[in-house]
Amino acid sequence: MKAHIAVLPGDGIGPEVTAEAVRALRALEKRHGHTFTLTELPFGGAAIDLTGNPLPEPTLETCLRADAVLLGAIGGPKWSAPEAKVRPEQGLLGLRRALGVYANLRPVKVHPALLGASSLKSEVLQGVDLIFVRELTGGIYFGEKRREADSATDVCTYTVAEIERIVRCAARLAQQRRRKLVSIDKSNVLETSRLWRQVTSRVMREEFPDVSLEHMLVDAAAMHLIRRPRDFDVLVTENMFGDILTDEASMLAGSLGLLPSASLGEGTRGLYEPIHGSAPDIAGRGIANPYGTLLSAALLLRHSLGLTAEADALEAAVSAAISAGALTPDVAGAAAAGAVSTREAAEAVLARL
């Protein structure tokens, strides 16, 4: 098949890990006879330095024409001063809104070879296989913001339609898995959460009676993710809660560097990125974990391009590389072998493709 993929390396370790995902896509392209047009574009802090805008118009236009977007990471101390008027994160929020990608899927699966990489006991982690569905274009991140001399305000707003569509997305995923959905809110305090709980209950009762629904307060969910993570299947929640809880859940797998994400809308085009940040403290050292980005590329192949066999092959190659002990420093403590570099980890994956 022919496909156009916009590649946004971004900042920090973003270019390093994205380069390895591009190499994997090229390998699959050659092996399976596809034609991938990969267009690299400035985004985030790098784009601010070039143009003054974290999301330059040519970058946005290309992303809107592409079949999928692959993103590395953005941000860093250079652009994070409290008084800064332009920030890399503004570009990311703008891109999500422009693409209409309201559903962020973050799978968390604990690899048997990495049970020792987490700070939790291995018996708690065995068999953990869950997926977060985070609402991505509403809530406090997109609400009205005001800053005055002695106060600041961030408004959190959700509509019925926004809640309905994300709950339907999560419920359809649950139907393909263990038919268990946990909806996370803060309905004992927040009016938006009361609406969230009411709408979720109605949608599940009327449209997905075959999926069991459990409501859980966000603080309880944070606790139970550590106490009994194996009990969870699909979890759906609003934007800020999802942002925080998925970083917590990444520690079940052992490292932020291991986990991918897919941000999807109504069509097939999606935005794919590892859940980790730009990690400026290790940028340029060649030790960043590329697996989250490689697995994000697999999600891209599956959800946007419909290339299930290729996605399965890439995921299997990553799993095999981990099993063989090709581990970067963030997780190498779990193995007897020494740590490998970003490139060496990716080479281990390519060898298994």
**Residues labelled catalytic:** 141, 186, 219, 243, 247
- Sequence letter at residue 223: M
Other C-beta atoms lying within 10 Å of the C-beta of residue 204: 21
Helical H segments across 33-176, by residue range: 45-51, 57-65, 88-99, 122-125, 160-175
Q: How far is CA 285 from CA 18, 280, 330, 335, in A?
A: 15, 10, 13, 21
Residues 6+ apart with CB under 8 A from 20: 290, 293, 294, 342, 343, 345, 346, 349
Cβ pair 259, 291 in contact under 8 A: no
Q: How far apart are CA 65 and CA 10, in angstroms?
A: 19
Q: How far apart are CA 235 and CA 242, in angstroms?
A: 9
Q: How far is CA 42 from CA 19, 73, 74, in A?
A: 14, 12, 11
Q: How far apart are CA 125 and CA 226, in angstroms?
A: 9
Q: How far is CA 238 from CA 153, 171, 203, 223, 226, in A?
A: 19, 15, 16, 18, 20
